[in-house]
């Protein structure tokens, strides 16, 4: 995974976290971690963009960690989670669990009180797929 993460200021009012993972390979079997961003504490909201590659996604999951020693907990992974956002999920472009090939999806989520966020996905083709993921929190 060729992920790149930049944390620009650790003061609460000016803290921003940027991460990207271009050309990440998404397998068909099981979930593949396509982005993992620890230390998002002191951010208020995040925006994430997912560009599906040559194959459609058939699963997408947002996981969070509330403490560095805690486990990753799946918060959103069903179609309805993204078509009718609620809770920490503020908005989404549509059903990310079925993101069509060569399309862009996105979500906006509250991050207050969270330590980290992890995104996982799988594609609907045995050959796998490649997608680009971009993340910003502030």
pLDDT in tens, 40-79: 988 999 999 999 988 899 999 999 999 999 999 999 999 9
Between CA 80 and CA 127 the distance in angstroms is 27
- 118 in a domain, yes or no? yes
Is the residue at 2 inside a domain?
no
Distance (Å, whole) CA 136 – CA 6: 10
Q: What is the mean pLDDT of residues 15-39?
A: 93
> And the tokens for 9?
């200021």
Asked, for residue 63, whether it belongs to a domain, the answer is yes
Asked if the structure places residue 5 within a domain, the reply is no
Whether the predicted pLDDT of 10 surpasses 90: no
11 inside domain: no
Predicted TM-score of the model (pTM): 0.89
Cβ atoms of residues 119 and 46 within 8 Å: no
Tally of domains within the chain: 1
Which range of residues forms the domain containing residue 77? 17-137
Query: Is 131 inside any structural domain?
Result: yes
* Contact call for residues 14 and 89 (beta carbons, < 8 A): no
Burial of 58 (0-12, 13-18, 19+ CB in 10 A): middle
């Amino acid at each position: 995974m060729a992920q790149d993460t930049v944390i620009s200021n650790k003061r609460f009012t000016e803290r921003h976290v940027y991460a990207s993972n271009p050309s990440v390979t998404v397998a068909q079997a099981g979930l593949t971690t396509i982005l993992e961003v620890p230390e998002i504490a002191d951010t208020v909201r995040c925006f994430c963009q997912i560009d599906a590659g040559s194959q459609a996604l058939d699963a997408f999951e947002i996981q969070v960690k509330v403490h560095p020693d805690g486990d990753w907990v799946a918060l959103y992974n069903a179609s309805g989670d993204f078509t009718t956002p609620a809770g920490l999920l503020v908005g989404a472009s549509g059903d990310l669990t079925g993101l069509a090939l060569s399309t862009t999806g996105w979500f906006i989520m509250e991050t207050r009180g969270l330590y980290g966020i992890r995104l996982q996905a799988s594609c609907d083709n045995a050959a796998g797929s490649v997608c680009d993921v971009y993340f910003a929190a502030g």
